[in-house]
């Protein structure tokens, strides 16, 4: 019987090739989208899951809030904590809590000049890490002993990619690398590259004992922040014990800091579920995962709706077949099984096509999403089983209503020729069309909002000059620092150079916080922890940062380099000054330097537009604290200017490579994840709209065929082509208008949630929804009009002869 059902199903597919093509194409594209989106979501959910002991690894979150005398530390919110903290907390936790098996700490990434013979590379993302790293994390060592690799000072473990740059495929353990032209590090191991689905993004590990060798004292400072701390709990223990005792632990260990508190976070929650600041690596968006999950469901629903609409609309074609079968004794349940068999066969055919399309599309989706979506993650042994199950479920979902609808026809009415499709079937089809275009309009509007926000981000006035700004990276090289003014002058003398400045960091880069006391309007010294830029005399004028009160640093004042500070408007407000001019002349105390505030600059976006402008101090930086040289250049002959700078650099700094980046490009890199989201969102939205139009095309074609005689009679009676097209289109237009009305509030709500991730955002007005509605209406009308015009221009004689 089952074989008979599938034979009949196959014959029906071949008999109605056009509608079978539309159904299979819609289902195939829908399934392809679902497979690709599921692959993307699976990648997002897999971050840090490769660690064998992941369920026992927790991060220590720390907060350093300012609490004045007489105040108490209220309960902190998740957003108050940061992953970046002090060093003493790790050993103290291990000493005080028997539940802690291991503690591993690492510092902020550094960039070092590595040399071996003639090979020389400026290698970024190197971490100083404890020797317990390989006991806690599941990183595979290719060469060397993981138990001792990070024990001795001046030891370094390279990743496989970095090791290959210097040594090819040979084992380099025991060989020496020259570091920053003054130190020698021994290679004690080579490990596999860190998986791409990891919050850790380093290229090598340096033993923490190397840092202790030169700066042992900072490992005892609770106020010095530059460490990330992870703890591994013993088996059969719970983090709740540490959570409950965290307050008493802090009071016991760091009673002098009333604003200090700690918390714990599961390592596997770091990528998608963490609200903590100062993350050690990339973070994802749980909202994006939900959005793409919804898009996958929407696309599949749209494809299934197409199937339902076409199957129920073509009910008259199969009415007699159903009537004859019922007269011959076929039960309604058997008819339902037959129609479901047709649906499942269609779905299985679509699944085969979807597998081929998905495999071919993986590289493109990987590029759009910026993720490493490999074939190995796609081609699993269980893939055929999953796809078959998925196809059966889709077939049942798409076919259950048409099967119930068709099997319910009354045999007597059908065979007497008195059968008319039930009104509820027509109404249900209208509901499905409305649902389709509700989703389509919402997706069009959402895509427009996403791109408008990204355009706004790229064009927003940041408050400083980032165009035609070249940043030379010398990563704190002592020889460069000692001759910084000579090097700046040599660069400034080059044709095409407008001005030159030096600083510890540039806008868009990592900044430290600094415990800073500033005199309040009441005359008291209040301590806060604003961000800090260490800059030279030329930084503010080179970046064209407006000074709105007081003055910038100047060589004309001998005290500016030791007893002066410039702050931004946000910092002035933080210390109680509503008028920036009132902060000028007030006392400050910061990192061993005291003096007066000489100026206030206008707030500028030194970080991503995801965050509001935060309090900032611009401190004069001595040469030993500088890492970057900013060069403002003319835009008329950039290649020639770069060539001249490269030549000058090789003459005055021959021991370092000429490393540069354009500030606008590096600053825009902060929005790379947003750009990938926009591209991926647009791609799948377009496919969803295409599937909806595909179904509409099939439905309008069928409707035109059903009304061919009516069209012929109207033409004979003098109706124009335009009048007939309007007649055939107006029912669809009404449904699309209803879809637009429903889509607007739904889309506004969803995109308002997404826009909340930006401190600086566009205002979503009615225009974007009007445009989305017009686009959807235009696409739908074009889809319908092709068949409508074709039917309207047909020869009425031929249509009236048809019987």
CA dist list (Å): 21 to 305, 393, 783: 15, 20, 16
Cα separation, 669 vs 665, whole angstroms: 6
Query: Counting Cβ atoms within 10 Å, is residue 148 exposed (0-12), middle (13-18) or buried (19+)?
Result: middle
Residue 497 confidence (pLDDT) above 90: yes
Residue 152 confidence (pLDDT) above 60: yes
How sure is the predictor about 70, in pLDDT bands with cuts at 50, 70 and 90? Answer: very low
Quick one: tokens of 725? 């097209």
Give the pLDDT confidence score for residue 308 in this predicted structure. 76
Give the pLDDT confidence score for residue 565 in this predicted structure. 98
Least confident of 154-158, 237-241, 607-611, 724-728: 724-728
Residue 786 confidence (pLDDT) above 60: yes
Query: What three-state secondary structure class fits 664?
Result: helix
Residue 799 confidence (pLDDT) above 60: no
Closest CA relative to residue 473, chosen from 508, 441, 444, 498 = 508
Residue 9 confidence (pLDDT) above 70: no
How sure is the predictor about 145, in pLDDT bands with cuts at 50, 70 and 90? Answer: very high
For 196-226, b/e burial (b = at least 16 CB within 10 A) is ebbbbebbbbbbbbbbeeeeeebbeebeebb
Least confident of 30-34, 239-243, 375-379, 761-765: 375-379
How sure is the predictor about 24, in pLDDT bands with cuts at 50, 70 and 90? Answer: confident
Closest CA relative to residue 215, chosen from 228, 226, 204 = 226
Give the pLDDT confidence score for residue 779 in this predicted structure. 78
Pick from 290-294, 312-316, 693-697 the range whose average pLDDT is largest.
290-294
Helix (H) or strand (E) holding 101: strand 100-107
Least confident of 189-193, 426-430, 795-799: 795-799
Least confident of 41-55, 353-367, 774-788: 774-788
Q: Residues near 659 by Cβ (< 8 Å), separated by ≥ 6?
A: 122, 472, 473, 474
Domain boundaries, the chain: 1-47+284-421, 54-269, 447-459+671-803, 469-670
Give the pLDDT confidence score for residue 96 in this predicted structure. 95
Outline where DSSP puts E strands in 467-512: 469-473, 497-503
> In this structure, what DSSP letter does residue 170 have?
S
How sure is the predictor about 23, in pLDDT bands with cuts at 50, 70 and 90? Answer: confident
Closest CA relative to residue 12, chosen from 28, 24, 30, 1 = 24
What would the mean pLDDT of 715-742 be, rounded to a whole number? 78
Least confident of 158-162, 291-295, 392-396: 392-396
Least confident of 86-100, 242-256, 306-320, 611-625: 306-320
Q: What is the DSSP string of 184-218?
A: EEEEEEEEPPPPSSSS---SEEEEHHHHHHHHGGG
Q: What is the pLDDT of residues 428-477, one digit of tens each?
A: 777 877 888 888 888 889 989 998 999 999 889 999 999 999 999 998 89
What would the mean pLDDT of 335-351 be, rounded to a whole number? 80
Residue 633 confidence (pLDDT) above 70: yes
Give the pLDDT confidence score for residue 425 in this predicted structure. 52
What would the mean pLDDT of 373-393 be, rounded to a whole number? 78
The phi, psi pair for 233, rounded to 5°, reads -80, 155
Residue at token pair 């060592």: 141
Give the pLDDT confidence score for residue 559 in this predicted structure. 95
Query: What three-state secondary structure class fits 154?
Result: coil
Q: What is the pLDDT of residues 216-239, one digit of tens each?
A: 999 999 988 999 999 999 999 999
Q: Return left, alpha or beta for 51; rule: phi > 0 is left, psi -120 to 50 is alpha, else beta.
A: beta
Q: Select the more confidently predicted residue: 78 or 270.
A: 270
What would the mean pLDDT of 762-778 be, rounded to a whole number? 86
Q: Return left, alpha or beta for 585; rule: phi > 0 is left, psi -120 to 50 is alpha, else beta.
A: left
User: Between helices 484-492 and 638-652, what is the axis angle to 10°?
Assistant: 150
């Amino acid at each position: 019987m089952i074989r008979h059902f599938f034979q009949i199903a196959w014959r029906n597919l071949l008999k109605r090739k056009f509608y079978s093509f539309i159904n299979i194409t819609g289902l195939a594209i829908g399934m392809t989208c679902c497979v690709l989106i599921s692959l993307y979501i699976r990648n997002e959910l897999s971050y840090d899951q490769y660690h064998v002991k992941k369920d026992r690894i927790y991060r220590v979150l720390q907060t350093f809030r300012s609490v004045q005398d007489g105040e108490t530390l209220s309960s902190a919110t998740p957003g108050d904590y940061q992953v970046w903290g002090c060093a003493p907390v790790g050993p103290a936790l291990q000493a005080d809590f028997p539940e802690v098996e291991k503690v591993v700490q690492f510092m902020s990434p550094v960039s070092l000049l590595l040399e071996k013979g003639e090979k020389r590379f400026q290698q970024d993302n190197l971490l100083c890490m404890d020797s317990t790293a390989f006991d806690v994390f599941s990183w595979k060592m290719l060469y060397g002993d993981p138990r001792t690799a990070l024990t001795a000072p001046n030891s370094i473990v390279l990743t496989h990619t970095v090791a290959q740059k210097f040594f090819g495929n040979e084992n380099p353990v025991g060989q020496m690398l020259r570091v920053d032209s003054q130190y020698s590090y021994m290679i004690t191991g080579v490990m596999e590259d860190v998986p791409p689905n990891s919050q850790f993004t380093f290229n090598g590990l340096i033993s923490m004992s190397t840092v202790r060798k030169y700066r042992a004292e900072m490992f005892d400072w609770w106020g010095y922040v530059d460490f990330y701390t992870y703890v591994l709990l013993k088996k059969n223990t719970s983090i709740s014990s540490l959570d409950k005792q965290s307050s008493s632990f802090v009071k016991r260990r760091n009673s002098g800091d009333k604003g200090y508190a700690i918390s714990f976070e599961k390592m596997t929650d770091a990528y998608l579920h963490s609200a903590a600041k100062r993350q050690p690596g990339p973070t994802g968006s749980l909202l994006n995962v939900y959005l793409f999950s919804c898009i996958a469901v929407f696309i599949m629903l749209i494809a299934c709706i197409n199937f339902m609409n076409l199957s129920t609309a073509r009910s008259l074609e199969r009415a007699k077949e159903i009537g004859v079968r019922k007269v011959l004794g076929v039960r309604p349940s058997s008819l339902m099984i037959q129609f479901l068999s047709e649906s499942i066969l269609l779905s299985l055919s679509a699944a085969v096509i979807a597998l081929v399309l998905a495999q071919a599309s993986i590289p493109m989706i990987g590029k759009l999403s910026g993720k490493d979506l490999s074939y190995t993650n796609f081609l699993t042994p269980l893939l055929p089983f999953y796809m078959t199950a998925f196809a059966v479920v889709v077939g049942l979902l798409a076919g259950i209503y048409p099967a119930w609808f068709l099997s319910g026809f009354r045999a007597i009415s059908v065979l007497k020729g008195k059968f008319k499709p039930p009104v509820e079937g027509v109404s249900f089809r209208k509901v499905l069309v409305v649902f389709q275009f509700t989703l389509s309009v919402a997706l069009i509007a959402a895509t427009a909002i996403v791109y408008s926000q990204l355009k706004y981000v790229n064009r927003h006035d940041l408050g400083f000059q980032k165009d035609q700004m070249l940043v030379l990276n010398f990563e704190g090289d002592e020889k460069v620092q000692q001759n910084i003014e000579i090097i700046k002058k040599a660069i400034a003398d080059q044709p095409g150079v407008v001005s030159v400045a030096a600083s510890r960091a540039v806008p868009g880069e990592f900044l430290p916080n600094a415990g800073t006391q500033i005199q309040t309007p009441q005359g008291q010294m209040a301590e806060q922890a604003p961000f800090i830029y260490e800059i030279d005399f030329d930084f503010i004028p080179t970046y064209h940062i407006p000074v709105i009160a007081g003055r910038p640093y100047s060589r004309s004042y001998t005290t500016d380099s030791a007893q002066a500070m410039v702050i931004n408007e946000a910092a002035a407000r933080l210390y109680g000054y509503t008028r920036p001019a009132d902060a000028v002349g007030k006392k400050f105390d910061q990192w061993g330097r005291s003096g007066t505030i000489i100026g206030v600059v206008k707030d500028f976006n030194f970080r991503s537009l995801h965050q509001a402008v935060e309090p900032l101090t611009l401190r004069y930086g001595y040469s030993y604290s500088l890492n970057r040289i900013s060069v403002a250049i003319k835009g008329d002959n950039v290649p020639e200017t770069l060539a001249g700078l490269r030549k000058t650099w090789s003459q005055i700094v021959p021991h370092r490579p000429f490393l540069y980046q354009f500030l606008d490009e590096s600053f825009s890199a902060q929005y790379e994840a947003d750009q990938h989201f926009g591209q991926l969102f647009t791609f799948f939205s377009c496919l969803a709209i295409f599937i909806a139009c595909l179904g509409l095309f099939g439905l309008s074609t069928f409707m035109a065929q059903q009304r061919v005689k009516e069209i012929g009679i109207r033409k004979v009676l003098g109706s124009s082509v335009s009048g007939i097209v309007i007649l055939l289109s107006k029912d669809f237009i009404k449904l699309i208008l209803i879809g637009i009305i429903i889509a607007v509030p739904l889309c506004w709500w969803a995109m308002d949630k997404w826009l909340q991730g930006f401190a600086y955002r566009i205002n979503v007005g009615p225009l974007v929804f009007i445009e989305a509605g017009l686009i959807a209406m235009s696409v739908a009308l074009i889809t319908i009009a092709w068949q409508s015009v074709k039917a309207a221009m047909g020869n009425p004689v031929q249509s009236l002869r048809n019987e």
